[in-house]
């Protein structure tokens, strides 16, 4: 592959994208929905200007796909995100080719396709990161054409190109708030690169920023009507516990390494350091650093406040380091560097092996049987079990209350329950932190109605004590085992709850 990659890099990049597309499509139909994916599908059933957790674009995409196909099958709703990553990867090739050459672009494509956080979660899960990175790279590609290709090559003129970049940045921000880092990175580059600073004296960048602001109006309008709930929620995640916590910072970095994969993360960090060391003298690498540094620095340093955060928050920054890593790999391969050749071979082989192990475990749970002691605290891959066996069991046993509703004790389980029972049953989340379930309906309309309460079985979980105050009576009706290839993997407890009489405390503040 290495020789073909350097001889015909464009064809190699297209082949890698096509193979990745096929693999992700197969995984989309064979691996169950994660907890975040189930939640997204549940809340996307109701069209809204924006949503509690994130801006609306990926939820609009899921809701539209479900309505057009009349299906909530995982393979159907994941397909737009699989296609998004294929587009992201191709545009990353074009961006790298413009800044360096096509050989570097092909290496960047290969490397991002063997990095777990990009190829696995961003590459095919129902999450905001797929559309986010698609539009971030698209915006960077347009900006790079303005800055590095010369005005004579810009169709419609530079001002229109800046406005196009603003539109793409706005769509990225409409997917996830990380999109604003494109504005930050472009501004940082223009301020710090003497050769390109002249663009700040033209109307293009400012009109582009204005277009971005217009794009995010739905988010602002929804938040204004809901006490800025999304911004309060996301802002609170950055406050931490106070003080300085170096252990949390190290744990944050370790999480990034695990998700990117250590053998990819270390060379990425080296490529970022090289860009920082050379500075604006190397315009291409400096441009990438300016785009990357915002999310990497912001979401790594906030861990010092005590909240480790999630390891994929920095991923939109690392995305823009792959072109520089691709260029470094191409340079080494030109010298026929054996270490780089072995690293590439093992990176590809290691990723394929990792995906095979994880996918087979998610589908069959074989690791639990082989090494049960390693899963003494539970099997995390049961989060990928869909609760679709619940609806037939509820109907067969007559547990669905006429004119009633379905309830669950957390936003995670409410998402699973909503996918399990289908879109024709209302789902209430009876917990202190219901996320967007809080805004989907007025729970007061259900006072006096009966419910079926679906709860993931846990030992020593006193569901009756927890929820009896909110109903006239709560009784255990039965259990529904969820299977993997015919083998029970977990159990959902079913409770019949009569006479919803008191709102959960979080709902009384409406």
What would the pLDDT profile of 375-399 be if each residue is shown by its tens digit? 777 788 888 999 999 999 999 999 9
Mean pLDDT of 157-182: 96
Tell me, yes or no, whether 366 lies in a domain. Answer: no
Residues 58 and 119 reside in one and the same domain = yes
Q: What is the pLDDT of residue 510?
A: 37
Tell me, yes or no, whether 376 lies in a domain. Answer: no
- pLDDT at residue 6 above 90? no
Mean pLDDT of 429-444: 92
Query: Which range marks the domain in which residue 277 is found?
Result: 2-356
Residues 64 and 180 reside in one and the same domain = yes
Of residues 482, 258, 254, the one with CA closest to residue 381: 482
Residues 197 and 270 reside in one and the same domain = yes
- As a whole number of angstroms, the distance between CA 392 and CA 421 comes to 9
- As a whole number of angstroms, the distance between CA 358 and CA 221 comes to 41
| Count of domains observed in the chain | 2
Confidence of residue 18 (pLDDT cuts 50, 70, 90): very high
Please give the DSSP secondary-structure letter assigned to residue 53.
S
Question: Taking the model in full, what pTM does it have?
Answer: 0.93
Q: What is the pLDDT of residue 508?
A: 39
Confidence of residue 509 (pLDDT cuts 50, 70, 90): very low
Residues 286 and 390 reside in one and the same domain = no
Residues 327 and 401 reside in one and the same domain = no
Residues 103 and 226 reside in one and the same domain = yes
Q: For residues 299 and 309, is the Cβ–Cβ distance under 8 A?
A: yes
Which tokens hold the place of 295? 């999310």
Q: For residues 306 and 242, is the Cβ–Cβ distance under 8 A?
A: yes
Mean pLDDT, rounded, of the chain: 91
Q: Give me the numbers of helices (H) and strands (E) for the chain, helices first please.
A: 25, 5
- As a whole number of angstroms, the distance between CA 458 and CA 490 comes to 10
Residues 321 and 427 reside in one and the same domain = no
Q: What is the pLDDT of residue 374?
A: 74
For 57-89, write each residue's pLDDT tens digit.
Answer: 999 999 999 999 999 999 999 999 999 999 999
Q: What is the pLDDT of residue 236?
A: 78
The position carrying tokens 């409770």 is 495
Residues 312 and 438 reside in one and the same domain = no
């Amino acid at each position: 592959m290495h020789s073909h990659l350097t001889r015909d890099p464009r064809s190699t990049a297209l082949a890698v994208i096509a193979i990745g597309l096929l693999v992700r499509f197969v995984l989309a139909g064979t691996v169950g929905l994660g907890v975040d994916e189930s939640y997204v599908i549940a809340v996307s059933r109701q069209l809204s200007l924006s949503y509690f957790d994130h801006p609306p674009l990926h939820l609009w995409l899921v809701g539209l796909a479900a309505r057009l196909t009349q299906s909530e099958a995982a393979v159907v709703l994941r397909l737009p995100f699989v296609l998004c990553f294929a587009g992201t990867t191709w545009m990353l090739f074009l961006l790298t080719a413009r800044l360096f050459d096509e050989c570097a672009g092909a290496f960047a494509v290969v490397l991002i396709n063997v990095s777990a956080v990009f190829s696995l979660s961003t590459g095919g899960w129902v999450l905001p990161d797929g559309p986010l990175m698609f539009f971030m790279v698209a915006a960077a590609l347009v900006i790079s054409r303005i800055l590095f290709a010369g005005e004579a090559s810009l169709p419609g003129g530079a001002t229109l190109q800046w406005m196009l970049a603003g539109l793409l940045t706005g769509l990225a921000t409409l997917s996830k708030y990380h999109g604003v880092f494109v504005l930050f990175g472009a501004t940082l580059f223009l301020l710090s690169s003497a050769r390109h600073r002249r663009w700040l004296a033209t109307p293009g960048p400012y009109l582009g920023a204005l277009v971005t602001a217009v794009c995010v109006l739905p988010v602002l309008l929804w938040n204004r009507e809901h006490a800025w709930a999304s911004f309060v929620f996301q802002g609170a995640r950055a406050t931490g516990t106070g003080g300085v916590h170096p252990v949390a910072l190290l744990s944050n970095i370790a999480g990034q390494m695990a998700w990117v994969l250590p053998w990819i993360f270390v060379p990425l960090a080296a490529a970022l350091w090289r860009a920082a060391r050379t500075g604006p003298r190397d315009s291409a690498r400096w441009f990438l650093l300016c785009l990357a540094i915002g999310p990497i620095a912001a979401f790594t340093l906030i861990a010092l406040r005590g909240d480790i955060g999630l390891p994929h928050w920095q991923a939109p920054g690392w995305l823009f380091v792959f072109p520089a890593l691709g260029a470094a790999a191409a340079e080494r391969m030109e010298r026929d560097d054996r270490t780089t050749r072995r690293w590439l071979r093992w990176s590809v082989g290691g990723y394929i092996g990792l995906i095979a192990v994880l996918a087979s475990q998610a589908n069959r749970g074989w690791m639990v049987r082989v090494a049960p002691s390693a899963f003494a605290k539970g099997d995390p891959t049961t989060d990928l079990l869909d609760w679709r066996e619940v609806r037939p069991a509820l109907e067969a046993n007559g547990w669905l209350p006429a004119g009633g509703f379905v309830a669950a004790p957390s936003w995670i389980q409410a998402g699973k329950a909503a996918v399990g029972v289908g879109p024709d049953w209302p789902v209430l989340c009876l917990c202190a932190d219901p996320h967007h379930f809080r805004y989907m309906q007025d729970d007061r309309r259900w006072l006096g109605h009966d419910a079926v309460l679906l709860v993931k079985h846990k030992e020593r979980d006193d569901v009756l004590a927890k929820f009896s105050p909110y109903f006239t009576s709560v009784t255990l009706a039965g259990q529904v085992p969820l299977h993997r290839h015919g083998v029970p993997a977990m159990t959902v407890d079913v409770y019949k709850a009569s006479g919803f009489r008191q709102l959960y405390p979080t709902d009384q503040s409406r």
